[in-house]
Amino acid sequence: MSHRLTRTAPAGYDPDAHRFDEAFVGLLRDGAFAGIRQLDPALQKKAGEDAVDSTRVVLAAAGYRTAGHHEVLSYEGPFGVGYAVAILFESEKAEAASPLAADLTGQLVSRLAELPQVARRAVETKLRNGPDQPPFLAGGEAAKRGAVFVTVRTDRGKLRGCRGVTTPVAPDLVWETWRSAVAAAFLDRRFPAVTTAELPHLRFTVSVLGPLEPVTAPEELDPAAYGVLVATDDGRKGVLLPGITGIESVAEQLALVRTKAGIADDEFVQLARFTTTSFQEAPASSKGGD
């Protein structure tokens, strides 16, 4: 990917190089493969990247318009060079034939209020090097497809991780919660990975997103009622959930989401809003303590 992330990078340094990696990985994570063809050539040149052409060849060979599983597994930038590991295409047929998929005959999860327990189980399983698929069957309202964010906080309320998707990629809300919980606990680059020792002192909130609604003016936003998605033409995106403590105005909401995405205040962005329905684990005091 970029070869110019730091001042000691082998191909020199460019302060905008990180923007290419963020945009590229964001497109892979969202499955927006067509957007790779629309990345800003000037930004590619600044980054000194070598990923776009080869990725387009792979996507063309796999047929990126065909439905299939995709997932960003990791990203890091050692030595000033960006490296991403991702599944670009895994056919639904191969996934259905997996022996692990046949083992999903355990507890039925049919209520959205049960999703925080799914999130906790996902992190517990990852810490034990268990299977990547949830040992649950989805039923009722949890069997629907939908976008999900999982927020991890300490039992004192301190943010410990938050990740999710604005467009569903998993077959149901149970799988989507499982994937997003693992990402929130282990792949949020703002925080170190969650450890086994701290897990009993963490609380999980699952936010199920409503549909994205295009916004033409900031007056259509309300940080208490709506989350916001901002996106640039080169693929950079930022998402902020509604009801965040300390965010009381639209201006504050937009400033924070732009900062998260590395988008300057004067850059043109497309806006969309969404509502959420959130489900939170009970605090430690009401669960008998940990």
Tens of pLDDT along 113-131?
A: 999 999 999 999 999 998 8
For 221, the token pair is 């936003």
* Higher per-residue pLDDT: 290 or 110: 110
Is the pLDDT at 78 greater than 80, yes or no?
Answer: no
Residue 24 has pLDDT above 90, yes or no: no
Task: Tell me the mean pLDDT in the region 149-164.
Answer: 95
Report the CATH number of the 213-276 domain: 3.30.1490.150
Distance CA 228, CA 212 (A): 9
Q: Is 202 exposed, middle or buried (0-12, 13-18, 19+ CB in 10 A)?
A: buried
Average pLDDT over residues 253-278: 94
pLDDT value, residue 282: 75
CA distances from 127 to 72, 148, 185 (A): 19, 22, 10
Residue 52 CA to residue 28 CA, distance in Å, equals 11
Q: Which residue has the higher pLDDT, 88 or 52?
A: 52
205 pLDDT higher than 70:
yes
Taking the domains of the chain in order of start, what are their residue ranges?
A: 17-94, 99-209, 213-276
Comparing 182 with 8, which gets the higher pLDDT? 182
pLDDT at 283: 66
Determine which of 53-67, 122-136, 140-154, 195-209 has the lowest per-residue pLDDT on average: 53-67
Fold of 99-209: Glycoprotein, Type 4 Pilin (3.30.700)
For residue 52 the two structure tokens come to 């776009």
In which band, very low, low, confident or very high, does the pLDDT at 90 lie, cut at 50, 70 and 90? low
What is the pLDDT at residue 80?
86
Average the pLDDT over 262-278 and give the result.
95
Whether 97 shows a pLDDT value over 50: the answer reads no
pLDDT value of position 149: 97
pLDDT tens digits for range 207-231? 999 999 999 999 999 999 999 999 9
Q: Is-contact 209 148, C-beta < 8 A?
A: yes
Q: What is the band of 106 on the pLDDT scale with cuts at 50, 70, 90?
A: low
pTM: 0.63
SS3 call for 249: coil
Sequence-ordered alpha helix ranges (H) in 31-188 = 41-47, 52-62, 92-96, 115-127, 173-186
Please count the other Cβ atoms lying within 10 Å of the Cβ belonging to residue 114.
Answer: 20
